[in-house]
Homo-oligomer: A and B are copies of this chain.
Amino acid sequence: MRYSAKHKEQTRAKLLKKASKRFREEGLQTTGIAKLMRDMGLTHGGFYGHFRSKNDLVATALKDMFAETTEDLKKAIAGSTPGKEVSAIVNFYLTTKNREHPELSCLLPTLASEIARQPKAVRQVYTRGFAEQIERLTQFMPGASEAAKRQNAHSLMAGMAGTMMFARAVSDRELSDRILAQARHSYISMFESEANKKA
């Protein structure tokens, strides 16, 4: 059958969205092309009309996921009191809702360890996205110098990603809730700028 002019473009976009969710739910290696296409109502062969390879899809999906998280962070920051951005970020990131929905939240806790085993092209996309995310956080961090601020951004990002990873892996729900709640409190008191803590 013939399709409307924009049809292929739309299919590709939907495929990309679905894949970037699936990757975060099930991991990169565990997500299969055939099942992905089946869930789109298509057959596996059609995949290669949209992406050169699974690796190509992984790389493209990573860009998409970083862009999504960037949007979410921007929104969280936009809705916060000036000077309270770190609280906004932490309270947005370390929620039970995000714990339950890896497919809709930051890729770092779910995919970063698997990315270490990916081919260079994929890791480069990751590296760029990661560096940009750190840069975005840096401007809201406390610190005497730009370098100190950036280091705090790294610490916060590593702490939040590690915390979310732990909260998801642990089988005891109450323990998981506590991990998140206490980490929110901790990171806010560590990284909310001094000026605001006194206000």
Chain A residues within CB distance 8 Å of chain B: 26-27, 29-30, 102, 108-117, 120, 123-124, 126-127, 130-131, 151-152, 154-155, 157-163, 165-166, 168-172, 175, 179, 182-183, 185-187, 190
Knowing A155-B186, A162-B159 are in contact, say whether A26-B117 is a contact too (CB < 8 A): yes
**What is the bound-complex CA distance between A126 and B170, given in angstroms?**
7
Residues in B whose Cβ lies below 8 Å from that of A102: 116
Contact in complex: A172, B113 (CB < 8 Å): no
Which residue on B lies nearest to A170, using beta carbons?
B127
Query: Min CB distance, A68 to chain B, in Å?
Result: 18
**What is the bound-complex CA distance between A161 and B27, given in angstroms?**
19
Contact in complex: A182, B113 (CB < 8 Å): no
Residues in B whose Cβ lies below 8 Å from that of A169: 112-113, 115-116, 123, 126-127, 130
